[in-house]
Structure 1
Amino acid sequence: MFGADKGNMAASDNRLNGKKLSVGIVQARFNASITDALAVACKSELIKLGVSEKDIDHVTVPGALEVAVALQCMAEKSKYDALIALGCIIRGETYHFELVANESGAGVTRISLDYQLPIANAILTTEDMPQAVARQEEKGRDAARVAVEMANLLESI
């Protein structure tokens, strides 16, 4: 997500200063073993970046297609500096994978643009469960860093 800078950003970097930020997390419960791990890694990283635990709101929804409507509800409250979408879509034998992956991604993007609110999209789309397990912690941490960096960037523009 960060390209060449990914490994070089310390919490002291102003781009990653989460103090005074309020962050909302929407987690899909489908594939809960993966999304729970995403959420733990994400919340841990937010706290490491200085976001107060009291300033992190975490809600769950049934699946990836329901994430966007919960994000929209949070965005409408004008309470959050950034939002985070967590989910896991694993390819199956039908077209359903493409439908869910495409529509959930489009919904997250639309809400971010409509509300001019950064949303870190960590809805994993993988071929199988081992790929999801391999990405769950790193992508959870990445989502936290993206949310904090983008909240700080938009505040400075």
Structure 2
Amino acid sequence: MSSIRTIEGMLDAKGLKVALVASRFNDFIVDKLVGGAIDYLVRHGIDSNNLTLIKIPGAFEFPVIVKKLAASNKYNGIICLGAVIRGATPHFEFVASEATKGIAQTSMETGTPVGFGLLTTDTLEQAIERAGSKAGNKGVEAAAALLETIKVLEQL
């Protein structure tokens, strides 16, 4: 019987450099996502001096900032943290869609992993739930996914 080679990401952030990009729009939600992501990375061994927090106006600006950060080759990974909450106009769909597409495209083009912590919710209550109450903290989840992805990529 042959054994299957399994590649998994060990959750060890020692020596990594990570950029966190956080939107100012809905900052009362985003600040909780940032706190969760930073706490997770520090608890998994990252030196806080190897974290860079970049604040941007809103989610629509994520793609250009992520592209610039990825091109710099200074970071092992990037985490995008923001909150787009549906309103009475179609603005929500345009912002969420373009931010998501731009982030994914840059990650694919550059090979730089990106943790996706952009909340897209119908209500403020849903955003609050995902920023550290009932539904956990999506900033923590984005940091965890980023760390595991970095560690898997190191083995490929």
TM (norm. structure 1) is 0.89
Distance 1:69 1:46 in 2: 24
* Equivalent in the alignment of 1:149: 148
Q: 2:63 aligns with which of 53, 64, 68?
A: 68
- Does the CA-based 8 Å contact 2:9-2:147 persist in structure 1? no
Q: Does 1:54 align with 2:49?
A: yes
Gaps of 5+ in 1: 1-12
Distance 1:57 1:17 in 2: 18
* Alignment coverage as a number of residue pairs: 145
Distance 2:44 2:142 in 1: 12
Q: Does 1:105 align with 2:100?
A: yes
Deviation at 1:14, TM superposition (A): 5.6
* Equivalent in the alignment of 2:4: none
- Does the CA-based 8 Å contact 2:9-2:150 persist in structure 1? no
* Equivalent in the alignment of 1:4: none
Which string of whole-angstrom CA distances, capped at 9 and with x for unpartnered residues, describes residues 41-65 of structure 1? 1111110111110111110000000
Q: Does 1:139 align with 2:152?
A: no
Distance 1:14 1:54 in 2: 23
TM (norm. structure 2) is 0.90
Query: Given residue 112 of structure 2, which amino acid in structure 1 is its aligned partner?
Result: L
Distance 1:105 1:70 in 2: 13
Divergent runs of 4+, >2 A? none
- Aligned ranges 1:1-157 → 2 under 5 Å: 15-137=10-132, 138-157=137-156
Distance 1:134 1:14 in 2: 28
Deviation at 1:67, TM superposition (A): 1.3
Which string of whole-angstrom CA distances, capped at 9 and with x for unpartnered residues, describes residues 21-44 of structure 1? 111110010001001110011111
Query: Given residue 113 of structure 1, which amino acid in structure 2 is its aligned partner?
Result: M
Query: Given residue 102 of structure 2, which amino acid in structure 1 is its aligned partner?
Result: G
Percent identical among aligned pairs is 34
Distance 1:110 1:74 in 2: 14
Query: Given residue 127 of structure 1, which amino acid in structure 2 is its aligned partner?
Result: D
Query: Which structure: larger Rg?
Result: 2
